[in-house]
Amino acid sequence: MVDTLRGNFPTNLPTIVVVGSTMMDMITYIDKVPESGETLIGDSFALGFGGKGANQSVMASRMGANVYMVNTLGDDLFGDSTLKNFHDQGIDTSFIERTKGASGVAPIWVEKDGSNRIICVPGSNNSMTPEQAVRAIESIDNIDIVIGQLEIPQEVTAAAFRAAQKKGIRTILNPAPFAPLSAELLAASDWIAPNEHEFAAMDPQRRSPDSDETIGDLARLLGKRILVTLGELGAAFTTTTGEIVRIPSPKVNAIDTTGAGDSFVGAFAYGLASGMPEELAVKLGCACASKSVTRRGTQSSYSSKEEAQEIIKAVTS
């Protein structure tokens, strides 16, 4: 039973703020993408809500967190429908601004084996400002976690994370799509959560996270907690004492991997924000990501609120 409300949210649930991107995903399903100069007939097409920030916010909300999205949308139809989607998902949009011009879009190609290729055109995401992000972090009470990615200007995420750290709030950076991290952003990040490719891009010797030694080396070099996703092998993270813990993923038949990493981050953030042991929070991330790859689309492939509750029960019992 909820006794008091903060804004529209119950006060007894974990609170997560996502300072990140929104995109309209334009997904083409095809056996094999064309070569340069080649035209092919695709199998099917779907328009869906995406953007790494939006996806992570939706997953965290479906898990049961109070979620605030901080973003800037364009003044186009994609902006209108994205805003409506956040309302439908129960996500607070008080810190979403609008600007003239196009919202972000992401043409995506998914091949028969479920692998994807994505081009993000950020549009209005690039109009976000550090002031907007700081205003959100300073105004929202009882934030447990702030999440960021690299589809908006890094100075915006860095400003949000700095403001979060001043309030003693933990921050998770999903360094995707990969770009070299500014010293300011790195300094204000508690957890760095890359996939295997982003991990290798961050490693000075371009090593993949195959061995515990490689993961430990990068964690020591950056002075950060590392949580790396390993595709069908699950994920690995560094503990506070520098050990590496590996969590396997449930075995599934993957048909579309788009957005799986975002469902992992959103579910992990929920687990951490709820006070679960880190190992369980990572298990939760793996369980949600492996469900998402068995269905088509990005947010459309994520567990419903009901399924999310079943996953939490299974992981924590």
Binding ligand RIB by CB under 6 A: which of 18, 63, 96, 118? 118
Which 199-258 residues touch ligand RIB, going by CB under 6 A? 258
If one asks whether residue 271 binds ligand RIB (CB under 6 A), the answer comes out as: no
Q: How far apart are CA 104 and CA 220, in angstroms?
A: 35
What's the min distance (Å) between Cβ of 136 and ligand RIB? Answer: 20
DSSP-based three-state secondary structure for 177: coil
Nearest to 47 by CA among 103, 127, 4: 103
Which residue of 16, 18, 19, 50 would you call a contact of ligand RIB, by CB under 6 A? 50
Q: Which helix (H) or strand (E) holds 132?
A: helix 130-139
Among 106, 146, 244, 267, binds ligand RIB (CB under 6 A): 106
Work out how close the CB of 53 gets to ligand RIB at its nearest, in angstroms, rounded to a whole number.
8
Residue whose C-beta lies closest to ligand RIB: 50
Question: What is the C-alpha separation between 251 and 254, in angstroms, rounded?
Answer: 9
Selected from 16, 20, 55, 272, the binder of ligand RIB by CB under 6 A is: 55
What phi and psi, each to the nearest 5 degrees, are found at residue 236?
-140, 145
Residue closer to ligand RIB (CB basis): 67 or 134: 67
Q: Does 170 bind ligand RIB (CB under 6 A)?
A: no
State the Cα–Cα distance between residues 110 and 206, nearest whole angstrom. Answer: 26
Give the residue, chosen from 151, 198, 256, 278, that forms a contact with ligand RIB under the rule CB under 6 A.
151
Spatial separation of the C-alpha atoms in residues 36 and 278, rounded to whole Å: 45
- Residue entry with tokens 């590996």: 246
Region label for 37, one of left (φ > 0), alpha (ψ between -120 and 50) or beta (otherwise): left
79 binds ligand RIB (CB under 6 A): no
Residue 285 in contact with ligand RIB, rule: CB under 6 A? no
113 is catalytic: no
**What is the spatial distance between Cα 316 and Cα 280, in angstroms, rounded to a whole number?**
7
Q: Please tell me what DSSP assigns to residue 219.
A: H
**In the complex, what is the shortest distance from the CB of residue 13 to ligand RIB, in angstroms, rounded to a whole number?**
25
Give the active site residues: 262
The residues of the shown chain that bind ligand RIB, judged by CB under 6 A, are 23, 25, 50-52, 55, 106, 118, 120, 151, 258-259, 261-262, 298
